[in-house]
Chain A
Amino acid sequence: MNEGQSTGSSNRLFAEALGCVRGGRILFRGLGFALEPGQAGLLTGPNGVGKSSLLRLVAGLLQPSAGICTAPETKALCDDRLALDEHLPLEQALGFWARLDGQSEAAVSAAMARAGLGHLAEVPVRYFSTGQRQRARLARTYLAAATLWLLDEPANGLDSDSVAQLGSALQAHLDGGGIILAASHIPLPIAFDLSLQLQPLEELEACL
Protein backbone atom coordinates (compact mmCIF):
# COMPACT_ATOMS: atom_id res chain seq x y z
CA MET A 1 0.00 0.00 0.00
CA ASN A 2 1.28 3.46 -0.80
CA GLU A 3 2.11 5.67 2.14
CA GLY A 4 -0.25 8.57 2.00
CA GLN A 5 0.81 12.09 2.71
CA SER A 6 -0.84 15.14 4.10
CA THR A 7 1.79 17.75 3.50
CA GLY A 8 2.03 21.04 1.78
CA SER A 9 -0.39 23.86 2.14
CA SER A 10 -2.54 25.86 -0.19
CA ASN A 11 -5.56 28.05 0.25
CA ARG A 12 -7.88 25.23 -0.83
CA LEU A 13 -8.71 21.87 0.64
CA PHE A 14 -7.93 19.08 -1.75
CA ALA A 15 -8.00 15.32 -1.29
CA GLU A 16 -7.27 12.66 -3.85
CA ALA A 17 -7.54 8.87 -3.54
CA LEU A 18 -7.50 9.26 0.22
CA GLY A 19 -7.54 6.13 2.32
CA CYS A 20 -7.64 5.60 6.06
CA VAL A 21 -6.90 2.49 8.11
CA ARG A 22 -7.87 2.40 11.79
CA GLY A 23 -7.28 -0.58 14.04
CA GLY A 24 -6.40 -2.80 11.08
CA ARG A 25 -9.68 -1.98 9.32
CA ILE A 26 -10.03 0.10 6.19
CA LEU A 27 -12.48 2.90 6.97
CA PHE A 28 -12.53 4.50 3.53
CA ARG A 29 -10.42 4.56 0.42
CA GLY A 30 -10.31 6.28 -2.91
CA LEU A 31 -11.89 9.38 -1.40
CA GLY A 32 -11.46 12.55 -3.43
CA PHE A 33 -12.92 16.02 -3.05
CA ALA A 34 -11.95 19.66 -3.30
CA LEU A 35 -13.21 22.76 -1.52
CA GLU A 36 -12.29 26.25 -2.73
CA PRO A 37 -12.21 29.34 -0.47
CA GLY A 38 -15.79 30.26 0.43
CA GLN A 39 -17.09 26.71 0.04
CA ALA A 40 -18.52 24.35 2.60
CA GLY A 41 -18.65 20.55 2.59
CA LEU A 42 -21.00 18.32 4.58
CA LEU A 43 -19.99 14.84 5.69
CA THR A 44 -22.75 12.36 6.32
CA GLY A 45 -22.93 8.65 6.95
CA PRO A 46 -23.73 6.16 9.70
CA ASN A 47 -21.80 6.02 12.99
CA GLY A 48 -18.31 4.57 12.80
CA VAL A 49 -17.96 5.08 9.07
CA GLY A 50 -14.96 7.37 9.45
CA LYS A 51 -16.32 10.92 9.49
CA SER A 52 -14.36 11.92 12.57
CA SER A 53 -11.30 10.10 11.27
CA LEU A 54 -11.50 12.05 8.00
CA LEU A 55 -11.69 15.31 9.94
CA ARG A 56 -8.74 14.30 12.10
CA LEU A 57 -6.85 13.26 9.01
CA VAL A 58 -7.40 16.64 7.37
CA ALA A 59 -6.39 18.32 10.64
CA GLY A 60 -3.07 16.49 10.48
CA LEU A 61 -3.74 14.30 13.51
CA LEU A 62 -3.78 11.09 11.47
CA GLN A 63 -1.62 10.06 8.59
CA PRO A 64 -3.56 8.84 5.56
CA SER A 65 -2.72 5.28 4.58
CA ALA A 66 -3.00 6.23 0.91
CA GLY A 67 -3.61 9.27 -1.22
CA ILE A 68 -2.87 12.94 -0.88
CA CYS A 69 -4.48 15.61 1.24
CA THR A 70 -3.52 19.27 1.02
CA ALA A 71 -5.14 21.72 3.38
CA PRO A 72 -4.75 25.39 4.24
CA GLU A 73 -2.04 26.01 6.80
CA THR A 74 -4.35 27.33 9.50
CA LYS A 75 -6.93 24.78 10.62
CA ALA A 76 -9.36 24.87 13.52
CA LEU A 77 -10.68 21.55 14.73
CA CYS A 78 -13.89 21.45 16.76
CA ASP A 79 -14.38 17.91 18.00
CA ASP A 80 -16.07 16.47 21.07
CA ARG A 81 -13.31 17.55 23.43
CA LEU A 82 -13.24 20.92 25.07
CA ALA A 83 -9.49 21.64 25.25
CA LEU A 84 -10.10 24.40 27.80
CA ASP A 85 -8.82 24.49 31.36
CA GLU A 86 -11.87 23.55 33.41
CA HIS A 87 -10.90 25.43 36.56
CA LEU A 88 -10.37 28.73 34.75
CA PRO A 89 -13.04 31.28 33.87
CA LEU A 90 -14.02 31.01 30.20
CA GLU A 91 -12.30 34.25 29.24
CA GLN A 92 -8.95 33.14 30.68
CA ALA A 93 -9.31 29.61 29.32
CA LEU A 94 -9.88 31.02 25.82
CA GLY A 95 -7.11 33.53 26.48
CA PHE A 96 -4.55 30.71 26.37
CA TRP A 97 -5.51 29.87 22.78
CA ALA A 98 -5.67 33.57 21.91
CA ARG A 99 -2.07 34.07 23.06
CA LEU A 100 -1.01 30.93 21.23
CA ASP A 101 -2.65 32.02 17.99
CA GLY A 102 -1.51 35.62 18.35
CA GLN A 103 -5.03 36.97 18.88
CA SER A 104 -5.93 40.02 20.93
CA GLU A 105 -8.15 40.11 24.01
CA ALA A 106 -10.78 41.88 21.95
CA ALA A 107 -10.88 38.81 19.71
CA VAL A 108 -11.65 36.67 22.78
CA SER A 109 -14.63 38.87 23.65
CA ALA A 110 -15.79 38.84 20.05
CA ALA A 111 -15.57 35.03 19.85
CA MET A 112 -17.50 34.66 23.11
CA ALA A 113 -20.17 37.05 21.87
CA ARG A 114 -20.49 35.16 18.57
CA ALA A 115 -21.00 31.93 20.48
CA GLY A 116 -23.53 33.59 22.80
CA LEU A 117 -21.29 33.19 25.84
CA GLY A 118 -20.52 36.85 26.57
CA HIS A 119 -22.38 36.73 29.89
CA LEU A 120 -20.40 33.67 31.08
CA ALA A 121 -16.92 35.17 30.63
CA GLU A 122 -16.20 35.07 34.37
CA VAL A 123 -17.67 31.63 35.04
CA PRO A 124 -15.25 28.68 35.41
CA VAL A 125 -15.67 26.26 32.52
CA ARG A 126 -16.42 23.28 34.77
CA TYR A 127 -19.84 24.74 35.68
CA PHE A 128 -20.99 24.83 32.04
CA SER A 129 -23.95 22.81 30.84
CA THR A 130 -23.77 20.50 27.81
CA GLY A 131 -24.96 23.18 25.42
CA GLN A 132 -22.70 25.81 26.94
CA ARG A 133 -19.71 23.50 26.62
CA GLN A 134 -20.55 23.01 22.96
CA ARG A 135 -20.73 26.77 22.49
CA ALA A 136 -17.38 27.11 24.28
CA ARG A 137 -15.88 24.68 21.74
CA LEU A 138 -17.32 26.83 18.96
CA ALA A 139 -15.95 29.99 20.57
CA ARG A 140 -12.51 28.39 20.63
CA THR A 141 -12.90 27.54 16.94
CA TYR A 142 -14.00 31.07 16.00
CA LEU A 143 -11.08 32.49 17.96
CA ALA A 144 -8.43 30.56 16.05
CA ALA A 145 -8.86 32.79 12.97
CA ALA A 146 -8.12 29.75 10.81
CA THR A 147 -8.91 29.41 7.13
CA LEU A 148 -10.26 25.89 7.42
CA TRP A 149 -12.85 24.94 10.01
CA LEU A 150 -13.22 21.22 10.71
CA LEU A 151 -16.43 20.73 12.65
CA ASP A 152 -17.44 17.41 14.17
CA GLU A 153 -21.15 17.53 15.06
CA PRO A 154 -21.05 21.29 15.78
CA ALA A 155 -24.78 21.47 16.57
CA ASN A 156 -24.81 18.71 19.20
CA GLY A 157 -26.58 19.86 22.33
CA LEU A 158 -27.44 23.30 20.94
CA ASP A 159 -30.94 24.77 21.18
CA SER A 160 -32.57 26.16 18.03
CA ASP A 161 -31.47 29.75 18.71
CA SER A 162 -27.89 28.61 19.12
CA VAL A 163 -28.08 26.62 15.89
CA ALA A 164 -29.23 29.77 14.10
CA GLN A 165 -26.35 31.67 15.73
CA LEU A 166 -23.95 28.95 14.59
CA GLY A 167 -25.38 29.23 11.09
CA SER A 168 -24.66 32.95 10.89
CA ALA A 169 -21.12 32.42 12.19
CA LEU A 170 -20.53 29.74 9.55
CA GLN A 171 -21.95 31.96 6.82
CA ALA A 172 -19.73 34.85 7.92
CA HIS A 173 -16.71 32.56 7.77
CA LEU A 174 -17.60 31.44 4.24
CA ASP A 175 -18.24 35.04 3.14
CA GLY A 176 -14.77 35.90 4.41
CA GLY A 177 -13.18 33.31 2.12
CA GLY A 178 -13.00 30.53 4.70
CA ILE A 179 -13.56 26.82 4.09
CA ILE A 180 -15.76 24.56 6.20
CA LEU A 181 -15.84 20.79 6.38
CA ALA A 182 -18.51 19.63 8.80
CA ALA A 183 -19.91 16.30 9.89
CA SER A 184 -23.40 16.72 11.27
CA HIS A 185 -26.59 14.76 11.83
CA ILE A 186 -28.45 17.92 12.68
CA PRO A 187 -29.23 20.07 9.61
CA LEU A 188 -27.04 23.18 9.63
CA PRO A 189 -28.61 26.41 8.35
CA ILE A 190 -26.10 27.12 5.57
CA ALA A 191 -25.93 26.05 1.94
CA PHE A 192 -23.33 23.31 1.38
CA ASP A 193 -21.48 23.25 -1.91
CA LEU A 194 -20.48 19.63 -1.49
CA SER A 195 -22.06 16.66 0.19
CA LEU A 196 -19.88 13.67 0.96
CA GLN A 197 -21.79 10.55 1.87
CA LEU A 198 -19.46 8.06 3.50
CA GLN A 199 -20.66 4.47 3.37
CA PRO A 200 -19.50 1.37 5.19
CA LEU A 201 -16.95 -0.29 2.96
CA GLU A 202 -18.59 -3.77 2.95
CA GLU A 203 -21.83 -2.35 1.57
CA LEU A 204 -19.92 -0.37 -0.97
CA GLU A 205 -18.19 -3.50 -2.19
CA ALA A 206 -21.51 -5.37 -2.33
CA CYS A 207 -22.84 -2.67 -4.65
CA LEU A 208 -19.93 -2.94 -7.06
Chain B
Amino acid sequence: MFVIRAIATIIWRDVRQSYASGGTWLPVIFYLSAATLFPFAVGPDRDLLLQTGGGILWIAALLATLLPLDRLVQPDLENGFHDQLIARGFSDEILAAARLVSHWLSFGPPLLFAAFLASGLMGLEGAALGTLLASLAIATPALAGLAVMIAALTAGLKGAGALGGLLLVPLAIPLLIFGAGSLSAQGSSALMFLAAISLLLVAITPFAAGAALSALRE
Protein backbone atom coordinates (compact mmCIF):
# COMPACT_ATOMS: atom_id res chain seq x y z
CA MET B 1 0.00 0.00 0.00
CA PHE B 2 2.77 2.38 0.96
CA VAL B 3 4.70 1.45 -2.17
CA ILE B 4 1.70 2.08 -4.41
CA ARG B 5 1.19 5.51 -2.87
CA ALA B 6 4.87 6.29 -3.32
CA ILE B 7 4.78 5.27 -6.98
CA ALA B 8 1.65 7.37 -7.48
CA THR B 9 3.57 10.30 -5.97
CA ILE B 10 6.42 9.76 -8.44
CA ILE B 11 4.04 9.51 -11.41
CA TRP B 12 2.12 12.59 -10.28
CA ARG B 13 5.33 14.61 -10.08
CA ASP B 14 6.34 13.61 -13.61
CA VAL B 15 2.93 14.36 -15.07
CA ARG B 16 2.62 17.69 -13.32
CA GLN B 17 6.09 18.71 -14.38
CA SER B 18 5.45 17.70 -17.95
CA TYR B 19 2.21 19.69 -18.21
CA ALA B 20 3.70 22.68 -16.37
CA SER B 21 6.87 22.89 -18.45
CA GLY B 22 5.00 22.82 -21.74
CA GLY B 23 6.65 19.55 -22.68
CA THR B 24 3.21 18.11 -23.27
CA TRP B 25 2.04 20.72 -25.74
CA LEU B 26 5.11 20.71 -27.97
CA PRO B 27 4.23 17.37 -29.63
CA VAL B 28 0.62 18.52 -29.95
CA ILE B 29 1.60 21.74 -31.70
CA PHE B 30 4.00 19.82 -33.91
CA TYR B 31 1.27 17.33 -34.75
CA LEU B 32 -1.24 20.01 -35.63
CA SER B 33 1.23 21.95 -37.76
CA ALA B 34 2.22 18.81 -39.69
CA ALA B 35 -1.45 18.08 -40.30
CA THR B 36 -2.07 21.68 -41.38
CA LEU B 37 0.84 21.72 -43.81
CA PHE B 38 -0.15 18.54 -45.62
CA PRO B 39 -3.33 19.89 -47.32
CA PHE B 40 -1.36 22.94 -48.38
CA ALA B 41 1.28 20.72 -49.96
CA VAL B 42 -0.95 18.29 -51.87
CA GLY B 43 -3.81 20.64 -52.56
CA PRO B 44 -7.44 20.60 -51.43
CA ASP B 45 -8.41 17.46 -53.34
CA ARG B 46 -10.98 15.86 -51.06
CA ASP B 47 -10.56 12.30 -52.32
CA LEU B 48 -6.77 12.43 -52.14
CA LEU B 49 -6.90 13.82 -48.60
CA LEU B 50 -9.36 11.15 -47.55
CA GLN B 51 -7.14 8.43 -48.95
CA THR B 52 -3.83 9.64 -47.57
CA GLY B 53 -4.86 11.71 -44.56
CA GLY B 54 -4.99 8.84 -42.09
CA GLY B 55 -1.49 7.70 -43.05
CA ILE B 56 -0.10 11.21 -42.71
CA LEU B 57 -1.67 11.59 -39.27
CA TRP B 58 -0.01 8.32 -38.29
CA ILE B 59 3.41 9.46 -39.51
CA ALA B 60 2.97 12.73 -37.65
CA ALA B 61 2.14 10.82 -34.46
CA LEU B 62 5.29 8.78 -34.84
CA LEU B 63 7.44 11.85 -35.36
CA ALA B 64 5.79 13.64 -32.45
CA THR B 65 7.01 10.76 -30.27
CA LEU B 66 10.58 11.86 -30.93
CA LEU B 67 10.20 15.36 -29.53
CA PRO B 68 10.22 14.68 -25.77
CA LEU B 69 12.96 11.99 -25.95
CA ASP B 70 15.74 14.01 -24.35
CA ARG B 71 13.73 15.11 -21.35
CA LEU B 72 12.26 11.75 -20.38
CA VAL B 73 15.13 10.24 -18.41
CA GLN B 74 18.20 12.44 -18.66
CA PRO B 75 17.14 15.31 -16.33
CA ASP B 76 16.30 12.99 -13.44
CA LEU B 77 19.61 11.17 -13.85
CA GLU B 78 21.53 14.44 -13.92
CA ASN B 79 19.96 16.07 -10.89
CA GLY B 80 20.17 12.96 -8.75
CA PHE B 81 16.44 12.18 -8.49
CA HIS B 82 16.90 8.72 -9.89
CA ASP B 83 19.73 7.85 -7.48
CA GLN B 84 17.73 9.15 -4.53
CA LEU B 85 14.85 6.88 -5.50
CA ILE B 86 17.16 3.88 -5.95
CA ALA B 87 18.68 4.58 -2.52
CA ARG B 88 15.14 4.38 -1.12
CA GLY B 89 14.84 0.86 -2.42
CA PHE B 90 12.88 1.35 -5.66
CA SER B 91 14.16 -0.85 -8.48
CA ASP B 92 15.10 0.49 -11.89
CA GLU B 93 12.31 -1.59 -13.42
CA ILE B 94 9.65 -0.09 -11.15
CA LEU B 95 10.91 3.41 -11.89
CA ALA B 96 10.93 2.71 -15.63
CA ALA B 97 7.36 1.41 -15.42
CA ALA B 98 6.36 4.55 -13.51
CA ARG B 99 8.02 6.66 -16.20
CA LEU B 100 6.11 4.79 -18.88
CA VAL B 101 2.80 5.50 -17.15
CA SER B 102 3.59 9.14 -16.49
CA HIS B 103 4.89 9.70 -20.01
CA TRP B 104 1.80 8.13 -21.53
CA LEU B 105 -0.46 10.28 -19.34
CA SER B 106 1.19 13.43 -20.62
CA PHE B 107 1.61 12.24 -24.22
CA GLY B 108 -1.28 9.94 -25.14
CA PRO B 109 -4.42 11.94 -24.33
CA PRO B 110 -3.15 15.26 -25.76
CA LEU B 111 -2.06 13.47 -28.93
CA LEU B 112 -5.47 11.85 -29.31
CA PHE B 113 -7.07 15.25 -28.89
CA ALA B 114 -4.75 16.70 -31.54
CA ALA B 115 -5.53 13.80 -33.88
CA PHE B 116 -9.22 14.50 -33.43
CA LEU B 117 -8.71 18.15 -34.42
CA ALA B 118 -6.37 17.32 -37.29
CA SER B 119 -8.69 14.71 -38.77
CA GLY B 120 -11.06 17.56 -39.60
CA LEU B 121 -8.38 19.03 -41.87
CA MET B 122 -8.16 15.73 -43.75
CA GLY B 123 -11.91 15.39 -44.02
CA LEU B 124 -11.90 12.16 -42.04
CA GLU B 125 -15.20 11.45 -40.37
CA GLY B 126 -17.48 8.70 -39.19
CA ALA B 127 -16.03 5.20 -39.10
CA ALA B 128 -12.64 6.26 -40.48
CA LEU B 129 -12.21 8.82 -37.70
CA GLY B 130 -13.23 6.23 -35.13
CA THR B 131 -10.68 3.75 -36.47
CA LEU B 132 -7.92 6.35 -36.52
CA LEU B 133 -8.56 7.35 -32.92
CA ALA B 134 -8.83 3.70 -31.86
CA SER B 135 -5.54 2.80 -33.56
CA LEU B 136 -3.77 5.78 -31.99
CA ALA B 137 -5.25 4.99 -28.59
CA ILE B 138 -3.91 1.45 -28.89
CA ALA B 139 -0.50 2.56 -30.16
CA THR B 140 0.29 5.53 -27.92
CA PRO B 141 1.26 3.34 -24.92
CA ALA B 142 3.68 1.50 -27.21
CA LEU B 143 5.08 4.75 -28.60
CA ALA B 144 5.50 6.02 -25.04
CA GLY B 145 7.23 2.75 -24.13
CA LEU B 146 9.60 2.99 -27.08
CA ALA B 147 10.40 6.58 -26.13
CA VAL B 148 11.18 5.61 -22.52
CA MET B 149 13.34 2.66 -23.61
CA ILE B 150 15.33 4.70 -26.07
CA ALA B 151 15.65 7.67 -23.73
CA ALA B 152 17.10 5.31 -21.10
CA LEU B 153 19.43 3.66 -23.62
CA THR B 154 20.80 6.94 -24.95
CA ALA B 155 20.89 8.84 -21.64
CA GLY B 156 24.24 10.46 -21.04
CA LEU B 157 25.37 10.20 -24.65
CA LYS B 158 26.29 13.21 -26.72
CA GLY B 159 23.67 13.96 -29.34
CA ALA B 160 21.26 11.61 -27.59
CA GLY B 161 18.27 13.27 -29.23
CA ALA B 162 19.41 12.63 -32.81
CA LEU B 163 20.61 9.12 -32.01
CA GLY B 164 17.32 8.41 -30.27
CA GLY B 165 15.45 9.41 -33.40
CA LEU B 166 17.53 7.05 -35.50
CA LEU B 167 16.86 4.21 -33.07
CA LEU B 168 13.18 4.84 -32.58
CA VAL B 169 11.99 5.17 -36.17
CA PRO B 170 12.88 1.61 -37.29
CA LEU B 171 11.45 0.12 -34.09
CA ALA B 172 8.19 1.95 -34.65
CA ILE B 173 7.72 0.62 -38.21
CA PRO B 174 5.52 -2.34 -37.16
CA LEU B 175 3.26 0.06 -35.30
CA LEU B 176 3.04 2.26 -38.38
CA ILE B 177 2.30 -0.63 -40.72
CA PHE B 178 -0.55 -2.02 -38.66
CA GLY B 179 -1.72 1.34 -37.36
CA ALA B 180 -2.04 2.97 -40.77
CA GLY B 181 -3.13 -0.38 -42.20
CA SER B 182 -6.10 -0.48 -39.89
CA LEU B 183 -7.54 2.46 -41.82
CA SER B 184 -7.92 0.35 -44.98
CA ALA B 185 -10.93 -1.79 -45.81
CA GLN B 186 -9.78 -4.99 -44.05
CA GLY B 187 -8.74 -3.03 -41.01
CA SER B 188 -9.98 -5.03 -38.04
CA SER B 189 -7.27 -7.71 -38.11
CA ALA B 190 -4.62 -4.98 -38.46
CA LEU B 191 -6.03 -3.38 -35.32
CA MET B 192 -5.59 -6.67 -33.46
CA PHE B 193 -2.00 -7.02 -34.66
CA LEU B 194 -1.42 -3.44 -33.55
CA ALA B 195 -2.80 -4.28 -30.11
CA ALA B 196 -0.52 -7.33 -29.88
CA ILE B 197 2.61 -5.33 -30.79
CA SER B 198 1.60 -2.56 -28.44
CA LEU B 199 1.13 -5.00 -25.58
CA LEU B 200 4.52 -6.57 -26.27
CA LEU B 201 6.33 -3.22 -26.31
CA VAL B 202 4.61 -2.05 -23.14
CA ALA B 203 5.45 -5.33 -21.43
CA ILE B 204 9.18 -5.23 -22.23
CA THR B 205 9.65 -1.49 -21.56
CA PRO B 206 10.15 -1.70 -17.78
CA PHE B 207 12.74 -4.45 -18.16
CA ALA B 208 14.63 -3.01 -21.12
CA ALA B 209 14.63 0.55 -19.79
CA GLY B 210 15.37 -0.70 -16.27
CA ALA B 211 18.38 -2.68 -17.48
CA ALA B 212 19.66 0.38 -19.33
CA LEU B 213 19.22 2.54 -16.23
CA SER B 214 21.03 0.15 -13.92
CA ALA B 215 23.85 -0.27 -16.46
CA LEU B 216 24.32 3.52 -16.38
CA ARG B 217 25.32 3.37 -12.72
CA GLU B 218 28.17 0.90 -13.29
* Chain A residues at the B interface, C-beta cutoff of 8 Å: 56, 59-62, 73, 75-77, 79, 81-87, 96-97, 99-102
Contacts and interface: CB of A to CB of B under 8 A. Distances in A.
A101 B89 CA distance: 11
Given A79-B83, A81-B79, A100 B217 contact: no
Interface centre among A77, A83, A97, A101 (most CB of B within 10 A): A83
A100 B88 contact: yes
B189 interface: no
B28 to A, nearest CB: 21
Contact of B10 (A59, A100, A102): A100
B80 A79 contact: yes
A101 B88 contact: yes
Given A85-B17, A100-B6, A60 B80 contact: no
Contacts of A83: 79-81, 83-84
Interface string B207-218: 000000000011
Size class of the B contact interface (CB-based, 8 Å): 20 to 34
A61 B217 contact: yes
Nearest to A60: B87
Contacts of B9: 96, 99-100
Interface of B: 2, 6, 9-10, 13, 17, 20-21, 78-81, 83-89, 217-218
B76 to A, nearest CB: 9
Given A81-B79, A83-B79, A96-B13, A59 B6 contact: no
A32 B153 CA distance: 35
B96 to A, nearest CB: 16
Contacts of A60: 86-87, 89
B87 A75 contact: yes
7 contacts: A61-B217, A62-B218, A84-B79, A87-B21, A96-B9, A96-B13, A99-B9
Nearest to A63: B218
A62 B6 contact: no
Contacts of A102: 2
Contact of A77 (B10, B87, B217): B87
B87 A61 contact: yes
A62 B86 CA distance: 10
B95 to A, nearest CB: 12
A102 B81 CA distance: 17
B84 A77 contact: yes
A59 B78 CA distance: 18
Contacts of B87: 59-61, 75-77
Contacts of B21: 87
A106 to B, nearest CB: 18
A81 B20 CA distance: 23
B10 A82 contact: no
Interface centre among A59, A79, A85, A100 (most CB of B within 10 A): A100
Contacts of B13: 85, 96
Contacts of A75: 87-88
A101 B218 CA distance: 26
Contacts of A62: 217-218
B217 A81 contact: no
Contacts of A96: 9, 13
